[in-house]
Structure 1
């Protein structure tokens, strides 16, 4: 049986004079890029540069909207009315859409960032606000969400194409959510361990939680975080492992 999967990375997270990640190198290895839209990271210059680099690399582009939280990198929970979340998602997606248009680059998808992503994975009302925003900007956009979550369900209910996402460098709880970053076992630091973790998820379409619980999960796209120091090594190892196991790597929109 043959398998195929999208390999995505959160990119464009530098800000002003502050550089985060090795975007130009990572873009040559992934098939989809989630570009920060200025609320949790990134700015107008970084957005323009990242879209241009993605076009040169032939990498599909998506918006990566987050909470308005530069100081916390969008990873702090914020309790914002769903109507406002709807508007802040439209604002950020629209900003990146403008840069894509200027570069004659198609926008493929939208993936919420950080705390917004995690909260929407559990909160149906928040998930519906995000799905509505994506649909109202462009119903052809693909919504990335945690596999089997409230966010993917909200997208499917709206009639959007949805990509069920799993994470190469994160561990899972028994309910299928990501282990909070405040816990010491939240991050997988070994590239070899991450590769084995990913291969099992793809070939078995399931995840294994930290307590050994096994959950059936659809796997359309795999995320590696671009701000991790090991991200470039992770992506190289993952690509090599996937190719060695005859897994086809391609963007979800292709």
Structure 2
């Protein structure tokens, strides 16, 4: 599932391409929405909230989309060939200059803009909210510490605690904190630092497609532990390990260095 910075960047690019422009084509190919034609509507804004995108129109409605595991938005010039098959397209929003195509968008809803909270109101503070404040940080901390018995790795992924962290940043935050992903939240020495670090890493990569937590962009040098199982730790040389964390549909692969990240393991 994409990280919050991926969704943020998609929203930024869609906003630049569509905001203030009138659609000459506005197809929604989701089974529940095929009867809606958005042609003639003007796009007012595109905003990201955690891993959710909201495209707002001048008729008081918003199109809500979520990437899940394989969704994406692509931008093209009119007449350009699409990079994914047409049968995967779930939304086509075209102006005179640009064509935005949403592929494999499993979650789509068209709702009154003043009812967006029905879809995103359950989320914790958005780590990439441009209006982030001390109040946002305090609320994230309250929700984080309330999960005292839960495992750190799982709480970092819990969008109801704070929105935006995915499996990549979960692994990297745990490494940089020096804690096993299975550490109970009540044993995290500085919960506020975990929240601040999560936000810092997302902000660092929010305006580019490359995601680096090491400060390097070279191939194979961007991450400390994520997807490096069996390779040597960049700090101590120990072999990186991996194991499943979580149950059912919420299970994800966790990566950690046994030496740099002491604590509980599976």
TM-score (norm 2): 0.27
Structure number, greater radius of gyration: 2
TM-score (norm 1): 0.28
| Greater length-normalized contact order (CA 8 Å, ≥ 6 residues apart) | 1
Which one has the bigger helix percentage?
1
